[in-house]
Amino acid sequence: MPIIDFHNHYYPPAYLDALRSGPSAVEVTIDTEGNPRLHYPGDYNIAVPGHRDIEYRERVLEEQGVDTQVLTLTTPGVHVETPAVAARFASLVNDNDPRASVRELERACRGLCFRGAMLFSNVNGIALSDPSLWPLYEAADDLGAILYIHPTTPVGVETMTDFWLMPLAGFLFDTTLAAAKLVFSGVVERFPRIQWVLCHLGGAIPYLAERLDRGFHAFSECRAQIQHPPSEYLKQFYYDTVNFDPRAVELAIAFAGAGRILAGSDYPHQIGSIPRMLDTIASLNISGPDKTAILGGNASRLLKL
Residues 212-234: pLDDT tens digits? 999 999 999 999 999 999 999 99
pLDDT tens digit string along 46-82?
899 999 999 999 999 999 999 999 998 887 777 788 8
Q: What's the CA gap between 49 and 35, in Å, rounded?
A: 8
* Residue-range definition of the domain harbouring residue 170: 73-261+270-289
Q: What's the CA gap between 131 and 286, in Å, rounded?
A: 41
**Is 42 part of any domain?**
no
**Is 199 part of any domain?**
yes
In the chain, the number of structural domains is 1
What CATH number corresponds to the domain at position 142? Answer: 3.20.20.140
**Is 14 part of any domain?**
no
Enter the pTM of the model.
0.91
3-class SS letters over 58-99: HHHHHHHCCCEEEEECCCCCHHHCCHHHHHHHHHHHCCCCHH
Residue 124's pLDDT is 83
Strand partners, 147: 117, 196
Q: Residue 207: pLDDT above 50?
A: yes
Residue 93's pLDDT is 64
What lies within 8 Å, CB to CB, of 103 at 6+ separation is: none
Rounded average pLDDT over 191-197: 98
Angle at the Cα of 215 from the Cα atoms of 212 and 220, rounded to 5 degrees = 140
Residue 95's pLDDT is 46
Residue 131's pLDDT is 95
Q: Residue 94: pLDDT above 60?
A: no
| Burial class of residue 95, CB neighbours in 10 A (0-12, 13-18, 19+) | buried
Rounded average pLDDT over 257-279: 97
Residue 171's pLDDT is 94
